A = this chain, B = another copy of it.
Amino acid sequence: MRRILLVLSLLAAWLAGAVPALADEGMWTFDNFPSAAVAKAYGVTIDPLWLDHVRLSAVRLTSGCSAGVVSGQGLVMTNHHCVVDCAQSLSTPAEDRVKGGFLTASRTEERQCPGLQAEILVDIFDVTRRVTPPDQAPGGRQRARDDAWAKAESDGCPDRIHYRCQIIAFYGGGQYALYRYRIYDDVRLVFAPEFATAFFGGDPDNFNFPRYDLDVAFLRLYEDGQPAVTPEHLTWNPTPPKVGAPVFVAGNPGGTERLLTVAQLETQRDLALPVAQLQRSELRGRMLQYMQESAEQKRLTEAPLFNVENSFKVYSGRQFTLSDPAFMEIKRREETDLRRRVANDSQLRATIGDPWTKIEAAQKAYGELYLPYRQLEAGAGSLSELFTDARTLVRAAAERTKPPGERLAEFSDARLPLIGKTLLDDHPIDARLEELYLGFWLSKTREALTNDDPDVQAMLGRQSPEALAALLVKGSKLADPAVRRALWEGGQTAILASEDPMIRFVLATDARARDIRKTWEQRVSAPSDTGAERVAAARFAVYGQKAYPDAGFSLRLSYGAVSGWTERGRAQAPFTRISGLYERATGADPYALAPRWLAAKDQLNGDTVLNLTTTNDIIGGNSGSPLIDAKGQVVGVVFDGNIHSLGGDYGYDPALNRAISVSTAAITEALDKVYGRRELLAELTGK
């Protein structure tokens, strides 16, 4: 019923004039930020210098999070939940750094996070003309575009040690930019609080408010074994902003789908979301039960379970948004309006054509191909790292023998270094969890495609899913990074000669997986992308330039204000305070306080703002983004959205959608009085 409110306010906005961007809505690129609108709404000036400063202080983490540089010595602030995999990798049965926190005493104890890379956006170039081939390119348009992309990325970053170049497609392909990142591949963990502190309230409180989490962690960028020098960084402001004060979020929203057509939304609602959520729910149940078998299993499962439960809640929010007929009705009206305007304008009609009908036709192929595509390709292996590593090794070996333009997109020269780092860095792999993931995937594949499907027969042979999973995991040596390195460096020869059962399994099933992927790309992705380009062009033409593109884990800036919200007539205040944390604690997981917090209770100022809600338009991927005031100083770190923000994938509702941050005030108080980290505080405050 919560969605009813969203729908009413969106409906009101639609009736008011169908402007695409509502108040505070938008995940804006730094080269198209609506400074004038912000000045009008909040009376503050966001000038190019401000934008450059913030952009150069904003960090993208390859773990799928955002972060901000907060000192001149490479110190970076993000969320605890963005480094929980790292803390897990640095743990042992004897020392659980997820449960106990990563609490160093000096810089020498800072430890590298396996597979993690930090990236700072240093340049933006428009390359739309360069990478958009003519319709009649020799060898086909797709091939020509792939070539142009690979070449542009390669040319832009001759120094691949320090830089990474990435082409970003905007507006469904209406515009392309080359983003050049300064990369740091040695990122070390500096500070992480206890899991119980960072994730107080656990899954039950996740995406709810009031909330009482110190979901913060610090990392440090290293260069040549030394802390990086980072003159561009955000100044620490430990005073929380007032209600109504303008605030900004610089980060990397992972993805939105606000430009999908109604036909595409229906496919998500009726097929993709339900199938994925039902599988995720079963996996969650398996993991929850697995955890209860022993303390060690609990330790190993807690971090991956967090990811599964977090996704489950995110997609539940999406599913219920799309299942609201009133919400869909708004989308339908918007689409009807746009189509009518195109149809009534002869010039537009000639340029745009009818992409909606083409996209709708692609949905039929989506329906036919989704289950095999999901099970054999997109979701193959579930969370198994051994399977993922084996597939990366097998495919990289084959792809590296091909010219760049003919490779699978993820194996371009620009992307290979990060793939290699992710693969080769040492991280612990738990065999029993691997069996759980693989057995789950194999059994869901049989369930989805039925036992009589030839692909299922080819995968399982005469084995049960569980027995095959055990055989592959027990027989594989890929958990050893030296083995992975040998296969990575040995290329196709080493792969084909390998007797590792996981490599053999991937080799035996990969042709079919590539096959279904190719069919999917031809019959679903390509027509959908081409159609989306046209729809985006239509929106441009009809609604004008000041629109923001759908998110895709590249840097964006959102603006808004500190604000609570009103729900069913009840006002929700925007702040929680440290005293509330103690009131909410029951002593039982996930409402149990860590011992340090119990001990520090009397020293802490209970009035300190702990978490706060703001109207910024964010989504998954923004986790760890700095919350910035009008002066460009950091006042918090975004870690969540409220329950209404979950429909944000498809639309933003200014009345209800809220971002949730940890305040710098609470971080300051905790570093000082709970963790005794004066030197870290001194680095942050410059004192």
Give the B-binding residues of A (Cβ under 8 A).
1, 201, 203-205, 208, 266, 269-271, 274, 277-279, 281-290, 292-293, 316, 319-320, 323-325, 367-368, 436, 446-447, 450-452, 461-464, 466-467, 586-591
Contact = CB atoms under 8 A, between A and B. Distances in A.
B286 A450 contact: no
A591 B586 CA distance: 49
Given A1-B367, A278-B316, A289-B436, A270 B204 contact: no
A516 to B, nearest CB: 16
B278 A289 contact: no
Nearest to A589: B464
5 contacts: A1-B368, A205-B451, A282-B284, A462-B588, A464-B590
B467 A588 contact: yes
A547 to B, nearest CB: 30
Given A281-B282, A282-B282, A283-B285, A203 B466 contact: no
Contacts of A1: 367-368
Nearest to A4: B367
Counting every copy of the chain, the complex holds: 2
Contact of A274 (B287, B323, B466, B588): B323
B266 A450 contact: no
B447 A319 contact: no
Contacts of A279: 281
Contacts of A467: 588
Contact of A285 (B270, B281, B316, B447): B281
A199 to B, nearest CB: 14
B462 A586 contact: yes
Nearest to A204: B451
Contacts of A587: 462
Contacts of A292: 466
B367 A324 contact: no
A284 B208 CA distance: 27
A83 to B, nearest CB: 26
Contacts of A288: 282, 285-286
A459 B286 CA distance: 25
Contact of A447 (B204, B269, B287, B446): B204
A454 to B, nearest CB: 14
Contacts of A286: 285-286, 288-289
Nearest to A323: B270
Nearest to A270: B323
A278 B274 CA distance: 9
Given A208-B452, A283-B285, 20 more contacts: A1-B367, A203-B447, A204-B446, A208-B451, A274-B277, A274-B323, A281-B281, A282-B285, A282-B288, A284-B285, A285-B286, A285-B287, A286-B286, A286-B289, A289-B289, A289-B436, A461-B586, A463-B586, A464-B590, A467-B588
A277 B180 CA distance: 45
Contacts of A462: 586-588, 591
A452 B591 CA distance: 12
A229 to B, nearest CB: 45
A586 B266 CA distance: 40
Given A204-B447, A451-B201, A466-B292, A325 B285 contact: no
Contact of A464 (B205, B277, B446, B588): B588
B204 A450 contact: yes
Contacts of A436: 289
A207 B290 CA distance: 29
A464 B196 CA distance: 14
A287 B588 CA distance: 24
A195 to B, nearest CB: 15
A570 to B, nearest CB: 12
A626 to B, nearest CB: 29
Given A278-B281, A281-B281, A285-B289, A325 B270 contact: yes
Q: Closest 5 A-B residue pairs measured CB to CB?
A: A285-B285, A289-B289, A282-B285, A462-B586, A281-B281
A3 to B, nearest CB: 10
A498 to B, nearest CB: 26
A463 B292 CA distance: 17
A270 B451 contact: no
A274 B467 CA distance: 31
Nearest to A283: B285
A652 to B, nearest CB: 22
Nearest to A368: B1
Nearest to A450: B208
Contacts of A323: 269-271, 274
A319 B284 CA distance: 21
Contacts of A287: 285, 289
A446 B283 CA distance: 20
Contacts of A319: 274
Nearest to A457: B586
A289 B284 CA distance: 11
Contacts of A289: 285-287, 289-290, 436
Contacts of A367: 1
A133 B630 CA distance: 71
A370 to B, nearest CB: 10
A326 to B, nearest CB: 11
Contacts of A320: 270, 274
Contacts of A325: 266, 270
Contacts of A208: 450-452
A316 B279 CA distance: 12
Nearest to A370: B1
Contacts of A283: 285
A591 B287 CA distance: 26
A587 B285 CA distance: 28
A463 B204 contact: no
A282 B316 CA distance: 14
